[in-house]
Amino acid sequence: MSGPATLPAPEARQSWLIDGVVTAVIAIGAWQALHAYAGEAAIASPLKALRHLSGLVATAGFWSHATATLTAFAGALAISAALGIGLGLVLGLRRFAGEVAEPILSGLYAIPKVTLYPVILLIFGLGLGAKVAFGVIHGVIPITLFTLTAVKGINPVLIRTARAMRLSQADTIRTVLAPAVLPEIVTGLRVGFSLTLLGVLVGEMFASQRGLGFLIVNGISLHNVKQTTAVILMLVVVAVAANGVLLWLDRRFIHRP
């Protein structure tokens, strides 16, 4: 019995392109319909949002806010990745600790992060620290869980074979552990990327006067619907594009067919 047919590379790319175009058309159509239903006071139309965004990106002030968001996001993602991968590896290699920690981490992640706002604000104050902290608490647990699951799923025969061959711990990690867990870690980083960005934006909404999240809240408070919609549009485009690039890299170099 033959396996599922795989499209040739050119046809696969064409199929993905068609799917992307159809999805974009549906999304824009739904946006326009929502604008027609809710009115100009609730959400700007796609065309007006795009025009306002083109004006925003031409100002130095906008890029100052964008740089603040990028700086906080880069720091939060680096900390989330280091902590998440490190904790996941440690807990995965210690089976009992991993079995105890996994439901605890899942339960902690189910807590609405906004409820932690007063604690984060008291510890870090207004500014970069609070934004990075908000990003980390959103991104670190998913990365940890993906890494933990990957390590737990390693075939025990591989570990026993490495011990029988008297490989050092460093060689075992390099030749056995890393290749086995890398695909799931990359998937966890892709999920953590989006969630960390979300956390940073939430932090900017509550605990900062700089950044794209602040621009969204500022637009809401001033009832500047076009500004709010334009910034959200830019964030959606950037997030979708970044996720698409990460997914392509994952399929190209990690999860090869």
Which residue ranges make up each domain of the chain? 58-254
* Residue type present at position 171: D
* Residue type present at position 178: A
* Residue type present at position 235: L
Q: Whole-prediction pTM value? A: 0.82
Average pLDDT over residues 250-257: 64
Instruction: Measure Cα distances from 1 to 5, 6, 7, 257 in Å.
Output: 12, 15, 18, 19
Give the whole-number percent of the chain exceeding pLDDT 70: 91
Average pLDDT over residues 84-111: 87
Smallest CA-to-CA distance from 144 within 218, 101, 60, 87 is with 87
CATH 3.40.50.150 applies to domain 58-254 = no
Residue 14: DSSP 8-state: H
Least confident of 2-16, 101-115, 162-176, 216-230: 2-16
* Residue type present at position 120: I
Is-contact 32 45, C-beta < 8 A? Answer: yes
Q: Is the pLDDT of residue 254 over 70?
A: no
Least confident of 62-71, 74-83, 131-140, 147-156: 147-156
pLDDT of residue 145: 92
* Residue type present at position 14: Q
Q: Give the Cα separation of 177 and 37 in Å (integer).
A: 54
Q: Is the pLDDT of residue 3 over 50?
A: no
Give the whole-number percent of the chain exceeding pLDDT 90: 19
Q: Give the Cα separation of 239 and 141 in Å (integer).
A: 20
Buried b / exposed e over 183-211, threshold 16 CB at 10 Å, is ebbbbbbbbbbbbbbbbbbbbbbbbbebb
Is-contact 200 73, C-beta < 8 A? Answer: yes
Q: Is the pLDDT of residue 5 over 60?
A: no
pLDDT in tens, 128-182: 888 999 999 999 999 999 999 888 888 878 878 888 888 777 787 778 887 888 8
Is the dihedral angle over the CA atoms 209, 213, 215, 217 positive or is it negative? negative
Q: How confident is the model at residue 81 (pLDDT cuts 50, 70, 90)?
A: very high
Q: Give the Cα separation of 189 and 186 in Å (integer).
A: 5
Q: How confident is the model at residue 4 (pLDDT cuts 50, 70, 90)?
A: very low
What's the mean per-residue pLDDT of the chain? 84
pLDDT in tens, 183-212: 888 888 888 998 999 999 988 888 778 889
Residue 126: DSSP 8-state: S
Here the tokens at position 35 are 């604008």
Q: Is the pLDDT of residue 125 over 90?
A: no
pLDDT of residue 8: 55
CA dihedral 19, 22, 25, 29 (to 10 degrees): -120
pLDDT of residue 27: 87
